[in-house]
Amino acid sequence: MGGKYRITGNTYPRMHRPRNRRKLVLSTAAAVVALGLAGWGTLQLIDVFTGGDKQANAADRPKACPSPSASTPAKALPKPAAIKVNIYNATPRSGLAKAAADELKKRGFAIGKVDNAPAAYDKKVPGTGMLLGGPTAMNGSFPVLATQLPGAAQKTDTRRTADVDLIIGTKFKAFSTPAAAASALTALTKPAPAPSSC
């Protein structure tokens, strides 16, 4: 070629198509959106499997504290005078049923039969004693009588009467002190405080 510009040598200038900036911007934006969606989806899966969202919501919610008056109502338990107790001695020691009856009578209980234990229980009550009564005694007479003899076993039978049996066991030494029994009875009749998360 002649003229001012001549091409010399073996190298020729490469001709590039002009870059399309719009395609480059769109592809970059699409990549950013795709990465954002993938990250968001991963967080959602983590929240579903760990319950993280619930914990966060619970922390944000204001705590509702119950008022001091909101508590479980007191149990309506019978008075000792309303409980008729039959006392049976299941130990080899003689006179124990009579002594126990006298002590419970002093503490306000009504005393019924006082005798040796029937053959089914004679020398077969290994603990301090056993309380035996109808199904209604479980939430009535038993808790009151158990304040006098903590640790006594409790068992129901098919009787329909309100009386309960106290069968004295081989490990019986004495009833709890009147002060300890009164304190335990007061604790039973007090309303239980409502659990607070505050």
> pLDDT tens-digit profile of 97-151?
999 999 999 999 999 999 999 999 999 999 999 999 999 999 899 999 999 999 9
Type of residue found at 175 = F
pLDDT for 191 equals 58
Higher pLDDT, 91 or 19: 91
Report strand pairing: 129-133 vs 164-168: antiparallel
Q: List the single range of 29-33, 53-57, 185-189 with lowest mean pLDDT.
A: 53-57
Assess contact for 96 and 139: CB atoms under 8 A: no
CA distance 65 to 53: 23
H/E/C letters for each residue in 22-74? HHHHHHHHHHHHHHHHHHHHHHHHHHHHHCHHHHHHHHHCCCCCCCCCCECCC
Mean pLDDT value of segment 39-51: 72
Torsion sign, CA atoms 130, 102, 104, 172: negative
- Model confidence, pTM: 0.60
Examine the pLDDT at 69 and tell me if it is beyond 50. no
Closest CA to 191 of 68, 73, 70: 73
Mean pLDDT value of segment 32-58: 69
Examine the pLDDT at 194 and tell me if it is beyond 70. no
CA distance 121 to 138: 20
Q: Hey, what are 127's tokens?
A: 């603990």
Mean pLDDT value of segment 157-177: 94
